[in-house]
Amino acid sequence: MRRPTLEAVAARAGVSRATVSRVVNGAANVKPHLRTAVMRAVEELGYIPNSAARSLVTRRTDSIALVVSEPPSRVFSDDPFFSAVIRAVSQELEAADRQVILMLASSAAGHARVERYVAGGHVDGVILLSMHGAEPLPASLSRSRVPMVSHGRPVASLPVPYCDCDNRGGARAAVEHLISRGRRRIATISGPPDMTAAQDRLGGYREVMAAAGRRPIVATGDFTRESGATAMRRLLADEPEIDAVFAASDLMAVGALGTLRAAGRRVPDDVAVAGFDDIALAGFSEPPLTTVRQPVTEVAACIVRTLLSTDPPSAPVILPTELIVREST
């Protein structure tokens, strides 16, 4: 006893398969009484179209792959930023009646899996998230000619359309804010050097520091809390005089707060701390964190719009960030 087919519905409703197909797909031009008959037959048989058959002829799957270049441990239980982005993208895609297929690909095997899946025609488009410098995916996927949009600026050599927030401008605003608070020795904890978000935030920091005639003080992390704690320890050891830190992610900023507390430095009295992202934790940390808010929902909407648009790939869209001042600065 197999699932009913279009054929069965047509027989029961006393019409052709074409008519059933039109009704099921909501075509306008079907006489009301036939439409009613078809809909009743669909209901009675519990008919649901076979998606493989439909995809075969329409060449669409109504599915979009969201490919995250990070290991599961990082995506699932570390940075709430991923949670926020994945949720926002999913909601936009669901609103457009597309199924999102979440694929994590942080290893060569993962990349191969994604490549096979996409090349096999399983999805109509790909969203790239958290790409690192040496990412092989854009090149290998472009061979499948599937539409692709990157969440965040890809490295220069890859001609992938993208939406991003103004990482450089956001960093600038945070550092200028620290300067305006009268801070003299402002360090930064930067993100992974192979990610453009980290590069741009570091660029914004350097720009403001240079314009103000200050010496840049840089420690490198990888966006995680632990790396922020470690970088802060290094800064304290190397540059005990610092009175402010701009961390390129809230998670790193929170790690830095822990280190400062353990070292007996008061925040913001001794050292001011600013982060980036505005994750929920930023509002609850001790003290609450001054940070740069990313427009997560807007970027997601932009990406989905770009991906689903039939127009030729548009120019990159850079959305503004917003400085949120709390008690840590």
Partner DNA sequence: CTGAAAGCGCTTACAG
User: What does the binding site for DNA look like in residue numbers (CB under 7 A)?
Assistant: 2-3, 5-7, 15-19, 21-22, 24-25, 28-31, 34, 47, 49-50, 53-54, 56-58
CB of 193 to its own copies, least distance (A): 25
Q: Quick one: what does residue 83 bind among DNA, its own copies, none, with the CB cut-off 5 to 8 Å set by partner type?
A: its own copies
Q: Which of 3, 177, 151 is nearest to 70 (CA)?
A: 151
CB 29 within 8 A of CB 22: yes
**Secondary structure of residue 25 in the 3-state scheme:** coil
Residue type, 230: T
Nearer to its own copies, 37 or 123 (CB): 123
Q: Does 72 bind its own copies (CB under 8 A)?
A: yes
The entry of DNA, its own copies, none near residue 22 (CB within 5 to 8 angstroms by kind) is DNA
**Residue 56 C-beta: closest distance to DNA, Å:** 4
The residue type found at 176 is: E
Nearer to its own copies, 63 or 220 (CB): 63
- Return the structure tokens found at 153: 């600026």
Among 3, 31, 215, 266, binds its own copies (CB under 8 A): 3
Please state the length of the chain. 329
By CB under 8 A, residue 76 contacts its own copies: yes
Closest approach of its own copies to the CB of residue 128, in Å: 18
Query: HSE (CB half, 13 Å, CA atoms) of 262?
Result: 11
Assess 75 for contact with its own copies (CB under 8 A): yes
Retrieve residue 242's tokens: 């610092």
Binder to its own copies among 6, 20, 78, 192 (CB under 8 A)? 78
Count of residues engaged in binding its own copies, rule: CB under 8 A: 38
CA dihedral 245, 248, 251, 254 (to 10 degrees): 10
Where helices occur in 181-325 by DSSP H, the ranges are 196-211, 225-238, 250-262, 281-284, 296-308
Could you tell me the smallest distance in angstroms from the CB atom of residue 96 to its own copies?
13
Vertex 256, ends 279 and 185: CA angle to 5°? Answer: 110
Using the structure block, give the residue that is written with the tokens 């599915």: 63
Q: What residues numbered 82-141 form the site for its own copies, per CB under 8 A? A: 82-83, 86-87, 90, 94, 99, 101-102, 113, 116-117, 119-122
Candidates 16, 36, 50, 314: give the one binding its own copies (CB under 8 A): 50
Q: Give the neighbor-by-neighbor strand order of the sheet with 63-68.
A: 99-104, 63-68, 125-129, 148-151, 162-165, 317-319
79 lies in the binding site for its own copies (CB under 8 A): yes
The secondary structure element, H or E, covering residue 292 is strand 291-293
CA angle, 169 then 171 then 174, to 5°: 110
Choose between 84 and 189: whose C-beta lies nearer to its own copies. Answer: 84
Compute the least distance from the CB of residue 182 to its own copies, in Å.
35
Shortest distance in whole angstroms from residue 72 CB to its own copies: 4
Which region, judged by CB under 8 A, interacts with its own copies, from 12-20, 24-32, 46-54, 166-174? 46-54
- Please state the closest distance from residue 20 (CB atom) to its own copies, in A: 16
Q: Rounded CA gap, 236 and 233, in Å? A: 5
Tokens, residue 124? 């109509």
Residues of this chain that bind its own copies (CB under 8 A): 3, 46, 48-53, 55-56, 61, 72-73, 75-80, 82-83, 86-87, 90, 94, 99, 101-102, 113, 116-117, 119-122, 143-145
